[in-house]
Amino acid sequence: MRVFAAMVLALIAAFAAPAGAQASEITAVRFGEHASHTRIVIETRAPVRARAHTLSEPAARLVVSFEDAAWSVDGLPDRAGIGAGLVGVFRFDGAASHPRLVFTLTGPASISQQMNLDPAGGGYRTVIDIEPVSASAFASVSGFPQSAATLTELVVREAGVDFTPQACERIRVVIDPGHGGRDPGALARFGGMHEAGIALAAGLQLRDILNETGRYEVIMTRDRDVYVSLEDRVRIARQARADLFISLHADSAGDNTGPRGATVYSMNARAESRARSRAFSEGDWVDVSRPEEVSRILVEMSLSNKRSQSELFAESLRTEIGRAGPLWRSTPMEANYAVLTDAETPAVLFEMGFMTNREDARRLNDVRERRRLMQSAAAAIESHFSGCRAPGRTYWAGGPATASASAR
Ligand SMILES: [Zn+2]
């Protein structure tokens, strides 16, 4: 049921293989400095299809991608040169499947016009005019992350991808009992078990409840009292290509025995930004055969899907848990937890109650009470994936559906 992943792969495939690609040599890059704008002229031996856009991060740049192009500029064997006006330097990157010229801008600028001109003494010309704009205007029209949707739509339209979702198959749920081994988590204050023991016992109960339905493939990050690093927990979710990741914990309020009840967290903005860096640093989303911007689009689409799915599931979980017992926080809660930082897997961290509260600790240590709590969690999972229950129906919600609608 990797609907989203399948769509992403289709998108990559379609983008990477443009029909009727025709190589053309770039023979000159020239600049014209005018009072109101800077003109960039790219000369080619044959007509060429080029697409230009600006990027604001990590530095202000203008990127011109070609369907296919080679470098053949006399006097610039290093494939780089110095610009004029709003362009500081430029370089040609021919390694990507879509070769591109990257112009470093000296300040915020936007594209005011782009034209293709037939030869007049020289070669075919792609002319791009850029003009200075305010920093905020630049941010609003530039690539990522601000206007991912616009470029996404462009890529989707050009790729001509069919977004018909696949039929529901087996749903993969990763259960992550927190702590373990040398890390006991919050220590037992009332009742017998430390947090690690309670999380494991609850996780195994949830696994058994889900397995009984026959609808899920359950993957445990640990099923005994061992230490598993936070990195490894995320990696397990990633490798399983899980549809849902649920981390089980029990809270602590230090010396304060008052706070009680459950809390459900999804990733906050900082966790999302860690997920974004992880996506690139671990190489999962980096593919040198496609333009960097496409990778960025795909990561943003994935994060947007993950965010909406995580929030939807957190809402189901709060609803079900709230029926079974007290909630410490009944409103959406977000946090920067490491286990929530895979760029793709919808993930929540479920604090089942407080180790530091006598009544919570009693319930969490009681096998029947704990099973009741896990039945509520299972009900939330069932409700979240309810679209998958009827044969032939598909489960589809979140970010990519928007791209799908706009692609038609
Ligand atoms: Zn914990």
Distance (Å) from CA 247 to ligand 1 centroid: 9
Distance (Å) from CA 381 to ligand 1 centroid: 21
Distance (Å) from CA 306 to ligand 1 centroid: 22
Distance (Å) from CA 135 to ligand 1 centroid: 43
Q: Give the pLDDT of residue 129.
A: 93
Q: Are residues 225 and 85 in the same domain?
A: no
Distance (Å) from CA 200 to ligand 1 centroid: 11
Distance (Å) from CA 356 to ligand 1 centroid: 13
Distance (Å) from CA 252 to ligand 1 centroid: 8
Distance (Å) from CA 262 to ligand 1 centroid: 13
Give the C-alpha separation, 138 to 297, whole Å. Answer: 18
Q: Give the pLDDT of residue 4.
A: 45
Q: Are residues 359 and 321 in the same domain?
A: yes
Cβ atoms of 68 and 23 within 8 Å: the answer is yes
Report yes or no on 136 lying in a domain: yes
Nearest-5° Cα angle at 56, 53 to 61: 55
Q: Give me the CATH number covering residue 48.
A: 2.60.40.3500
Cβ atoms of 326 and 133 within 8 Å: the answer is no
Higher pLDDT, 18 or 52: 52
pLDDT in tens, 215-270: 899 999 999 999 999 999 999 998 888 889 999 999 999 999 999 999 999 999 89
* 302 class by beta-carbon count within 10 Å (0-12 exposed, 13-18 middle, 19+ buried): buried
Is residue 190 over pLDDT 90? Answer: no
Report yes or no on 133 lying in a domain: yes
Q: Give the pLDDT of residue 390.
A: 39
Distance (Å) from CA 101 to ligand 1 centroid: 49
Q: What is the mean pLDDT of the chain?
A: 81
Report yes or no on 281 lying in a domain: yes
Q: Give the pLDDT of residue 369.
A: 96
Distance (Å) from CA 203 to ligand 1 centroid: 13
Residues 6+ apart with CB under 8 A from 63: 52, 53, 54, 55, 100, 101, 102, 103, 143, 293
Distance (Å) from CA 310 to ligand 1 centroid: 19
Q: Are residues 256 and 384 in the same domain?
A: yes
Distance (Å) from CA 383 to ligand 1 centroid: 26
Report yes or no on 75 lying in a domain: yes
Distance (Å) from CA 178 to ligand 1 centroid: 6
Report yes or no on 148 lying in a domain: no
Q: Are residues 240 and 380 in the same domain?
A: yes
pLDDT in tens, 119-137: 777 788 999 999 998 887 7
Sheet containing 38-44: give its strands across. 70-71, 25-33, 38-44, 124-132, 109-117
3-state secondary structure string, the chain? CCHHHHHHHHHHHHHHCCCCCCCCEEEEEEEEECCCCEEEEEEECCCCCEEEEEECCCCCEEEEEECCCEECCCCCCCCEEECCCCEEEEEEECCCCCCEEEEEECCCEEEEEEEEECCCCCCEEEEEEEEECCHHHHHHHCCCCCCHHHHHHHHHHHHCCCCCCCCCCCEEEEEEECCECCECCCCCCCCCCCHHHHHHHHHHHHHHHHHHHCCEEEEECCCCCCCCCHHHHHHHHHHHCCCEEEEEEEECCCCCCCCCCEEEEEECHHHHHHHHHHHHHCCCCCCCCCCHHHHHHHHHHHHHHHHHHHHHHHHHHHHHHHHHCCECCCCCEEECCHHHCCCCCCEEEEEEEECCCHHHHHHHHCHHHHHHHHHHHHHHHHHHCHHHCCCCCCCCCCHHHHHHHHHC
Report yes or no on 27 lying in a domain: yes
Distance (Å) from CA 403 to ligand 1 centroid: 37
Q: Give the pLDDT of residue 137.
A: 78
Distance (Å) from CA 249 to ligand 1 centroid: 4
Distance (Å) from CA 402 to ligand 1 centroid: 36
Place 399 in a pLDDT band, splitting at 50, 70 and 90.
Answer: very low
Distance (Å) from CA 230 to ligand 1 centroid: 11
Q: Are residues 128 and 212 in the same domain?
A: no
Distance (Å) from CA 7 to ligand 1 centroid: 35
Report yes or no on 4 lying in a domain: no
Q: Are residues 358 and 295 in the same domain?
A: yes
Report how far Cα 225 is from the mean position of its chain's Cα atoms.
32
Q: Are residues 291 and 350 in the same domain?
A: yes
Q: Give me the CATH number covering residue 286.
A: 3.40.630.40
Distance (Å) from CA 277 to ligand 1 centroid: 24
Token pair, residue 69, equals 């192009």
Q: Give the pLDDT of residue 287.
A: 66
**Number of domains observed in the structure of the chain:** 2
Give the other-Cβ count within 10 Å of 191's Cβ. 16
Distance (Å) from CA 186 to ligand 1 centroid: 7
Distance (Å) from CA 133 to ligand 1 centroid: 48
Q: Are residues 79 and 131 in the same domain?
A: yes
Q: Give the pLDDT of residue 123.
A: 82
Nearest-5° Cα angle at 246, 241 to 247: 120
Q: Give the pLDDT of residue 293.
A: 73
Distance (Å) from CA 348 to ligand 1 centroid: 13
Distance (Å) from CA 251 to ligand 1 centroid: 6
Give the other-Cβ count within 10 Å of 198's Cβ. 28
Candidate from 71-85, 142-156, 272-286 with smallest mean pLDDT: 142-156
Distance (Å) from CA 250 to ligand 1 centroid: 6
pLDDT in tens, 301-337: 788 888 888 988 999 999 999 998 899 988 888 898 9
Boundaries of domain holding 54: 23-142
Is residue 48 over pLDDT 70? Answer: yes
Distance (Å) from CA 172 to ligand 1 centroid: 23
Q: Are residues 37 and 138 in the same domain?
A: yes
Q: Give the pLDDT of residue 259.
A: 94
